[in-house]
Structure 1
Amino acid sequence: MDLETYNLKTLFDQLGLPSEDTQIDDFIEKHPLDANTKLVDAHFWTQAQKQTLEEWIGKDDDRAIVFDELNVRLHDGK
């Protein structure tokens, strides 16, 4: 049984990015996406980060929810 909690902090940790709440907010503010850009296709991801995001969206657990949260926030810029 997988008891790990998934949230934006754990995602940003896995992406190798600063993961404190204010750092996540700063990243989102600095990297807004337009409506036509898919999250995994954003220009600012490395290949390894893109692969991590693709793994998260493919999961049938809270990781997909966290992926969706990041997607919405980057598209809203908030």
Structure 2
Amino acid sequence: MTVRPRMTHLFEQLGLDSSEEAIALFIVTHQLTADQKITEADYWTEAQRQFLAEKIKSDGEWAIVVDQLNESLHEDSVSK
């Protein structure tokens, strides 16, 4: 049985606190501008950036979770 990746798993893979509170706080405090890609955010380490890029390219279940994080990180941005 394979476990579908979830946001908590993604944060664990990125080496970040994966508690619901920590994830919510990360999202609120790390918002991106509308034209900024998730992999271009300056708060990632190179390893985290590569991990995210690989998962986006994989187009599998991990890509869905990374996309969900991406959408969450753009909640405050308004595209013109």
Q: TM-score, normalised by structure 1?
A: 0.90
Identity of aligned residues (%): 42
- Which residue pairs with 2:60 in the alignment? 61
In the alignment, structure 2 segments of 5+ residues that lack a partner are: none
Q: Which deviations, in whole Å up to 9, do the C-alpha atoms of 1:18-49 show, x marking residues without a partner?
A: 00111100000000000011000001000000
Q: TM-score, normalised by structure 2?
A: 0.88
- After TM superposition, the runs of 4+ consecutive aligned structure 1 residues lying more than 2 A away are none
What is the CA RMSD across the aligned residues, in angstroms? 1.3
Per mean C-alpha deviation after superposition, the further-off stretch among 36-45 and 55-64 is 55-64
- Which residue pairs with 1:6 in the alignment? 5
Number of aligned positions between the proteins: 76
In the alignment, structure 1 segments of 5+ residues that lack a partner are: none
| Matching residue's letter, 1:23 | A
